[in-house]
Structure 1
Amino acid sequence: MNMDSDSAAKGADEPDWLVDEPLERTDATAEPATAAPWRVLIVDDDVDVHVVTKFALSQASFQGRRLSFLHAYSGAEALSLLRGTPDIAVVLLDVIMETQDAGLQVARQVREELHNSAVRIILRTGQPGQALEHRIIIDYDINDFWCKTDLTTRKLFTTVIASLRTYATLREAQQQVAELAAALAQCGNTPAAPAGGTP
């Protein structure tokens, strides 16, 4: 398990499943350069997938914030990172790792045990015949599902940026709800004026 340890230079040997033209940066809504990066967790038991994914997204940014990559090579490592890093925005999650449904179990635990409804979960599989896409989308609270052979650089970029946009909106809504709840709680703790006025 490591963070940003892969060299982008390794990405020169991209496999066929992730090849496309270079991507432009997305800085539509600029924020201060000191803004914290968006955290993207790559979960896959294939090291090459980590290298190529990071390389493909290395120049991406959204709302003036770059991407920061975390890496897990099993479902257990992924859950450990998700427990310890609550601000992960997007998880690029392989379906088949230490077990045939390791990724699906991670997705289920993120929602049901960690109660993390904001993080965007993008499932990826290199063996499309092993899992039925419709069943997975219905049975699991995931946000997208891709076969690796279909996920070009541009499609990956588009999917991640769309996921970040949704994540940012959800987090803002959650913050507003928390502030409203705090304000209501404070009002509830304010002593009521005596009935009939001051004696």
Structure 2
Amino acid sequence: MINQPPQEATGLAQWILLRLKPFVDDDAASLFADEAEEGAVTAGRPWSILIVDDDSEVHAAIGLALSGAEIDGRRLRLSHCHSASEARTRLAGDEEDIDLVLLDVVMESAEAGLDLLESLRAEPETRSLPVLIHTGQAGRFSENMVRARYDISGYLPKSSVTQQGLLSALRAVLQEGRAA
């Protein structure tokens, strides 16, 4: 009998391996600014994205997927929290302007991310902060259920997100927030 990792670890490893490899459908040229293009200047400060997830492999995968990416000529600066309570403390400290939170649901408890989201919406300082749900529990926390109960900017199931899909979702949320 061959030793196999637990099903949860196997699923995550598959997500990381499958989702970070370039896909035929992904247009790699559109993911990154053409550095050879003359006159290409990054406009303004980088977009600040706070990744809140208890899985360090997810943080690494997102960092790799977004490495060198730009949205509207602005680089992405990724910050990391590994629990909802850590994110709550960081956001309350107001140490930096966060443009978007990429939030997992299941962390230190089954609904830690949603509890954090409720507290963010209750505070005037974070009420309008864009939050993109990024969950591995899409069956348990469906997009329809989450959208009906919570004010979110977007929803990405970890099982089906691609590099291009992640960047497109971030772009849509950031551009929507800028237009508001």
Query: For the residues of structure 2 that align with 1:14 and 1:150, how far apart are their CA atoms?
Result: 11
Q: Does 1:164 align with 2:158?
A: no
* Aligned pair partner of 1:55 in 50, 60, 64: 64
Provide the TM-score with structure 1 as the length reference.
0.70
Question: Once the 2 structures are TM-superposed, how far is the Cα of residue 14 of structure 1 from its aligned partner?
Answer: 3.6
Query: For the residues of structure 1 that align with 2:85 and 2:41, how far apart are their CA atoms?
Result: 35
Question: Once the 2 structures are TM-superposed, how far is the Cα of residue 20 of structure 1 from its aligned partner?
Answer: 3.2
Provide the TM-score with structure 2 as the length reference.
0.77
Q: Does 1:20 align with 2:22?
A: yes
Give matches, 1:56-95, under 5 Å. Answer: 56-83=65-92, 84-85=94-95, 87-95=97-105
Residues 34 and 154 of structure 1, relative CA distance in 2, 3 Å threshold: closer
Residues 67 and 33 of structure 1, relative CA distance in 2, 3 Å threshold: same
Query: For the residues of structure 2 that align with 1:142 and 1:44, how far apart are their CA atoms?
Result: 17
Query: For the residues of structure 2 that align with 1:18 and 1:102, how far apart are their CA atoms?
Result: 27
Query: For the residues of structure 1 that align with 2:144 and 2:95, how far apart are their CA atoms?
Result: 30
Give matches, 1:1-199, under 5 Å. Answer: 14-21=16-23, 22=28, 23-25=30-32, 33=42, 35-83=44-92, 84-85=94-95, 87-170=97-180
Q: Is the 8 A contact 1:89 1:118 kept in 2?
A: no
User: What whole-Å deviation, never above 9, does each CA across 1:68-115 have from its counterpart, x for those lacking one?
Assistant: 010000001111222224521111100100000011111111111254
Percent of aligned positions that are identical: 33
Question: Once the 2 structures are TM-superposed, how far is the Cα of residue 116 of structure 1 from its aligned partner?
Answer: 2.1
User: What whole-Å deviation, never above 9, does each CA across 1:16-71 have from its counterpart, x for those lacking one?
Assistant: 244434353258xx995472111001111000100110111112212321010100
RMSD: 2.4
Query: For the residues of structure 1 that align with 2:168 and 2:157, how far apart are their CA atoms?
Result: 15
Q: Is the 8 A contact 2:71 2:171 kept in 1?
A: yes
Q: Structure 1: where are the runs of 5+ without partners?
A: 1-12, 171-199
Residues 163 and 88 of structure 1, relative CA distance in 2, 3 Å threshold: same
Q: Which amino acid in 2 is paired with 1:42?
A: I
Q: Which amino acid in 2 is paired with 1:133?
A: E
Query: For the residues of structure 2 that align with 1:33 and 1:107, how far apart are their CA atoms?
Result: 31
Residues 141 and 118 of structure 1, relative CA distance in 2, 3 Å threshold: same
Q: Which amino acid in 2 is paired with 1:24?
A: L
Structure with max Cα Rg: 1
Query: For the residues of structure 1 that align with 2:71 and 2:33, how far apart are their CA atoms?
Result: 6
Q: Please name the residue that 1:8 is paired with.
A: none
Q: Is the 8 A contact 1:122 1:143 kept in 2?
A: yes
Q: Is the 8 A contact 1:40 1:68 kept in 2?
A: yes
Q: Is the 8 A contact 2:105 2:113 kept in 1?
A: yes
Q: Structure 2: where are the runs of 5+ without partners?
A: 1-14
